[in-house]
């Protein structure tokens, strides 16, 4: 089974003080640590588990600058066979659709049975790229997958729904699945593991290597234009209520009534 995984390098903002950069269209990333997108780490682990069970290869793709090599090498250290990076000034500023278009054209060049992506990225949270790639390649896709069963030329995907429900979908291969966190436990990557793949070639593809025009990718090929980015305003502090349960309930009722929350 030949599997492709699309990954993204993202900034770690969990415990960081975030500010907007001078352009007003992005966060200030100076001083931030970067790592493999969390959802993608589960996708690469699932791909490697499938390779270990059924054989085949795992190839990792990413769109980004040379700094994305760090995340690609992490995937190689986990057990991926090859890594390919899409890099070109024309790709800059692209939304989910433009990013998917570039990736889809690159994926056409390599035979595959299954494509895995993370359900979404930590930085923008669009959750678009996987599904759009599938549509562009005219293959079936299943999103928010938390369990996979491969059966000959089909895959049975268990997907997470709202309210704790689960849906089981069976699709023909080749197909694309977007992977949810918790589907597995991503393996630890040691420093020694990174060193072992430090000299492994990461192939780079530019716009000239794809069957695309400059106006079809990047900012020019995007349907979404970001005009302004801002931090949410800081609200008032929480009000701590004391007293008996019935007294607190009455206070809550009065607050809701005063704020227009109740008729």
Per-residue pLDDT reduced to its tens digit, 71-96: 999 999 999 999 999 999 999 988 99
Name the pLDDT band for 153 (thresholds 50, 70, 90): very high
Which pLDDT value is given to residue 164?
83
- How far is the first Cα of the chain from the last one, in angstroms, to the nearest whole number? 60
Question: In the structure, what pLDDT confidence band is assigned to residue 11 with cuts at 50, 70 and 90?
Answer: confident
What is the rounded distance in angstroms from the CA atom of residue 204 to the CA atom of residue 107?
13
* For helices 38-54 and 69-78, angle between their N-to-C axes, nearest 10 degrees: 30
Whether 168 contacts 152, CB under 8 Å: no
Cα–Cα distance between 198 and 70 in angstroms, integer? 9
Give the residue carrying structure tokens 């669009």. Answer: 126
Over residues 91-126, the pLDDT tens digits come to 998 899 999 999 999 999 999 999 999 999 988 888
Q: What is the pTM of this model?
A: 0.85
| CATH superfamily placement of domain 2-216 | HUPs (3.40.50.620)
What pLDDT does 232 receive? 80
In this structure, the number of other CB atoms found within 10 A of the CB of residue 77 comes to: 21
CB 218 within 8 A of CB 93: yes
Q: Looking at residues 54-70, what average pLDDT do you find? A: 95
What pLDDT does residue 261 have? 66
Q: What is the mean pLDDT of the chain?
A: 91
């Amino acid at each position: 089974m030949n599997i492709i995984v699309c990954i993204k390098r993202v900034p770690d903002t969990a415990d960081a003080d975030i500010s907007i950069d001078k352009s007003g269209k992005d966060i200030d990333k100076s001083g931030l640590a970067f790592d493999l997108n969390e959802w993608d780490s589960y996708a690469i682990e699932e791909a490697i588990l499938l390779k270990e069970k059924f054989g085949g290869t795992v190839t990792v793709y990413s769109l980004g600058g040379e700094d994305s090599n760090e995340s690609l090498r992490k995937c190689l250290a986990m057990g991926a066979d090859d890594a390919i990076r899409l890099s070109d000034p024309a790709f800059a500023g692209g939304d989910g659709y433009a990013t998917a278009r570039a990736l889809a054209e690159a994926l056409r060049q390599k035979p595959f049975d299954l494509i895995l992506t993370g359900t979404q990225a930590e930085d923008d949270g669009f959750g678009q790229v996987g599904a759009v790639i599938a549509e562009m390649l005219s293959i079936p896709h299943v999103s928010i997958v938390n369990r996979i069963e491969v059966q000959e030329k089909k895959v049975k995907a268990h997907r997470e729904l709202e309210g704790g429900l689960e849906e089981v979908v069976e699709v023909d291969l080749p197909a694309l699945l977007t992977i949810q966190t918790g589907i597995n436990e991503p393996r630890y990557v040691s420093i020694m593991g990174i060193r072992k793949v430090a000299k492994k070639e990461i192939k780079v593809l530019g716009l000239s290597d794809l069957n695309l025009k400059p106006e079809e990718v990047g900012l020019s090929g995007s349907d979404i234009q970001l005009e302004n980015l801002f931090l949410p305003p800081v609200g008032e502090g929480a009000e701590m209520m004391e007293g008996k349960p019935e007294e607190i309930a009455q206070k809550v009722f009065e607050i809701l009534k005063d704020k227009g929350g109740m008729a």
